[in-house]
Amino acid sequence: MEPWRLRWAVPIAVLLMVQLCSESEAIEVKILKSGLESHVVGSEAKVMRQRVDHYNAQDHRTFGQRWYEHTDYFKAPDGPVFLRICGEAACSGISNDYLMVLAQEFGAAVVTLEHRYYGESLPFDDLSTENLRFLSSKQALFDLAAFRNYYQELLNQRHNRTGDDNPWIVSGISYSGALSAWFQIKFSHLSRGAISSSGVVLAVLNYTDFDRQVAESAGPVCASALRQVTAEVEEAVKKNATAIKELFSAGQLKNDGDFFYFLADAAAIAFQYGNPDRLCKPLEEVYTNNGDVVAAYAEIVKSFYIDYFGTSVDTYDQESLKNTTPGPHSGDRMWWYQVCSEVAYFQAAYEGSIRSSEVSVKYHLDLCANVFGAGMYPEVEITNLFYGGTAIYGSKIVFMNGSQDPWRWASKQTSSPGEPSFLIKCQNCGHGTDMRGCPQSPLQAKGDASKCDNPLEVLKARELISTFIGEWLAEPVKCLEQL
Positions marked active-site: 174, 405, 431
Kindly compute the dihedral angle of the four CA atoms of residues 223, 228, 234, 236, in this order, to the nearest 10 degrees. -140
Is 131 in contact with 123 (CB distance < 8 Å)? yes
297-328 in b/e form (b: 16+ CB < 10 A) is bbebbbebbbeebebebebbbbebbebbebee
The amino acid present at 350, given as its one-letter code, is Y
d(CA 454, CA 70): 31
219 dihedral zone (left: phi>0; alpha: psi -120 to 50; beta): left
- Short-list 1, 15, 4, CA closest to 457: 15
CB 395 within 8 A of CB 188: yes
- Concatenate the DSSP letters of all residues of 14-39 into one string: -EEE----TT---------EETTEES
d(CA 359, CA 207): 11
Buried b (16+ CB within 10 A) or exposed e, 358-375: bbbbebbbebbeebbeee
* Cis ω before 11 (30° cut-off from 0): no
Q: Which of 249, 283, 265 is nearest to 356 (CA)?
A: 265
The enclosing H or E element of 49 equals: strand 46-51
How far apart are alpha carbons 284 and 300 in whole angstroms?
Answer: 12
Q: Strand, helix or coil at 423?
A: strand
Pair type for strands 81-84 and 94-95: unpaired
Phi, psi torsion values for 168, nearest 5 degrees: -115, 140
d(CA 338, CA 325): 17
